[in-house]
């Protein structure tokens, strides 16, 4: 028996008068959408309508669950609308405030442009011939002549992320053969702020089982230019056994160490946090029931 504190889920179709939706000229009539109603212990009701492809078309919070089980703008319900292209890519979202976000894709289905309602310019993305993200033009960067770049190793693992300011953004976006299709680009005018090492390169003393795994992450604090580091070690199953962290500008004497212990199924059973040079040790234990659920 329930105690009145359960979360309930019910299913049906958009079969009630008022449950038709028109989005950018396309109308979803009655009984064309799957309807899911989730009600939390406090009576808050969230309703989601999905099409036959499982795509969310309308979703929101019903402010009048005692009076109806539908989403209605005239009732001040908080409603978000979604639109997709023929390939199933999300291309348009309107939030409850009426603010729109749009997405544009290339012929391979890769996101090329995203326009957010709170930005004057769009985010632009470009990829190499392997489909790896190489360029991100972010309007939040301090200069209109800057962009983020990503470099990869021969296995497709990201090895460097940074800011490039060495040329025309328009030229880069429109001429991939001269720029981001080349694995060694950018050649100059760049400043890395995150570097990744693998397979034992730049390993911390005592680290093991590093082949095929991330060994070290090096990141720059942009305000000060100081570098911080995170080293990794793994057990025989490839699970992280310990992490050693050094904050930007700090010495090894105050490194932070996190150790992980697992059971025979690879489930985390203990986490040990011990900042070097302090007595501030913390232990966390994790227990599971017979169904493998965290207790």
CA dist., res. 124 & res. 115, Å (int) = 9
Identify any residues that bridge with 272 across adjacent strands, giving them in sequence order.
259, 283
**Residue 254 half-sphere exposure toward CB, CA atoms < 13 A:** 6
| pLDDT level of residue 274 (50, 70, 90 thresholds) | confident
What is the mean pLDDT of the segment spanning 123-148?
Answer: 92
Q: Which of 33-47, 134-148, 236-250 has the lowest mean pLDDT?
A: 134-148
> Same domain, yes or no, for 259 and 173?
no
In Å, the largest CA–CA distance within the chain is 68
For residue range 74-125, list pLDDT tens digits in order.
778 999 999 999 999 999 999 999 999 999 999 999 999 999 999 889 999 9
Q: Does the pLDDT value for residue 209 go beyond 90?
A: yes
Q: Among 73, 98, 117, where does a domain finish?
A: 117
> Same domain, yes or no, for 217 and 295?
yes
SS3 165: coil
CA dist., res. 273 & res. 27, Å (int) = 55
What is the distance, to the nearest Å, from the Cα of residue 191 to the centroid of all Cα atoms in its chain?
24
What is the mean pLDDT of the segment spanning 231-259?
Answer: 96
181 Cβ contact list (under 8 Å, min separation 6): 128, 129
> Same domain, yes or no, for 57 and 68?
yes
| Amino acid 275: pLDDT | 64
Are 70 and 18 a contacting pair, CB within 8 Å? yes
Query: Residue 32 to residues 75, 77, 92, 133: CA-CA distances in angstroms?
Result: 23, 21, 20, 37
| Amino acid 281: pLDDT | 86
CA dist., res. 125 & res. 103, Å (int) = 11
Tell me, yes or no, if the pTM score tops 0.85: no
Say which residue the tokens 């301090």 belong to: 142
Q: Among 90, 117, 144, where does a domain finish?
A: 117
Mean pLDDT across the chain = 93
253 Cβ contact list (under 8 Å, min separation 6): 276, 277
> Same domain, yes or no, for 178 and 219?
no
CA dist., res. 30 & res. 155, Å (int) = 50
Closest C-alpha among 235, 228, 239, 164 to residue 195: 228
| Amino acid 276: pLDDT | 64
> Same domain, yes or no, for 24 and 77?
yes
| Amino acid 147: pLDDT | 95
> Same domain, yes or no, for 21 and 97?
yes
| Amino acid 1: pLDDT | 46
> Same domain, yes or no, for 62 and 24?
yes
Q: Among 96, 117, 138, where does a domain finish?
A: 117
End-to-end CA, the chain? 22
Q: How many domains does the chain have?
A: 3
Q: Which residue has the higher pLDDT, 5 or 118?
A: 118
CA dist., res. 168 & res. 179, Å (int) = 11
> Same domain, yes or no, for 2 and 112?
yes
> Same domain, yes or no, for 25 and 105?
yes
CA dist., res. 120 & res. 139, Å (int) = 8
Q: Does the pLDDT value for residue 183 go beyond 70?
A: yes
> Same domain, yes or no, for 151 and 210?
no
Its domain, for residue 14, covers 1-117
CA dist., res. 144 & res. 129, Å (int) = 26
CA dist., res. 119 & res. 94, Å (int) = 15
CA dist., res. 246 & res. 254, Å (int) = 7
> Same domain, yes or no, for 157 and 186?
yes
| pLDDT level of residue 4 (50, 70, 90 thresholds) | low
| Amino acid 248: pLDDT | 97
> Same domain, yes or no, for 87 and 136?
no
Q: Does the pLDDT value for residue 289 go beyond 60?
A: yes
What is the mean pLDDT of the segment spanning 42-65?
Answer: 95
| pLDDT level of residue 270 (50, 70, 90 thresholds) | very high
């Amino acid at each position: 028996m329930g105690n009145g504190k359960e979360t309930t889920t019910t299913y049906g179709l958009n079969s009630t008068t008022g449950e038709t939706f028109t989005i950018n000229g396309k109308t979803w009539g009655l009984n064309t959408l799957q309807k899911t109603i989730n009600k939390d212990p406090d009576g808050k009701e969230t309703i989601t309508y999905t099409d036959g492809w499982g795509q969310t078309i309308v979703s929101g919070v019903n402010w009048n669950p005692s009076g109806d089980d539908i989403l209605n703008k005239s009732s001040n319900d908080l409603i978000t609308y979604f639109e997709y292209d023929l390939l199933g890519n999300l291309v348009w979202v309107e939030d409850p405030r009426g603010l729109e976000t749009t997405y544009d894709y290339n012929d391979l289905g890769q996101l090329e442009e995203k326009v957010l309602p709170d930005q004057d310019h769009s985010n632009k993305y470009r990829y190499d011939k392997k489909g790896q993200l190489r360029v991100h033009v972010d309007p939040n960067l301090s200069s209109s002549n800057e962009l983020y770049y990503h470099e990869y190793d021969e296995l497709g693992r990201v090895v460097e992320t940074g800011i490039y300011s060495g040329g025309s953004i328009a030229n880069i976006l429109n001429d991939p053969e001269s720029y981001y299709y080349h694995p060694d680009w950018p050649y100059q005018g760049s400043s890395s702020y995150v570097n990744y090492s693998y397979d034992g390169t730049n390993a911390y003393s005592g680290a093991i089982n590093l082949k095929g795994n991330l060994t070290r992450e090096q990141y720059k604090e942009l305000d000060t230019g100081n570098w911080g580091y995170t080293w990794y070690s793994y057990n025989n199953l490839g699970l992280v056994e310990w992490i050693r962290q050094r904050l930007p500008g700090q010495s090894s004497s105050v490194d932070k160490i996190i150790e992980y212990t697992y059971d025979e199924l690879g489930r985390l059973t203990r986490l040990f946090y011990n900042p070097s040079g302090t007595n501030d040790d913390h232990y966390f234990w994790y227990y599971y029931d017979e169904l493998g659920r965290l207790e």
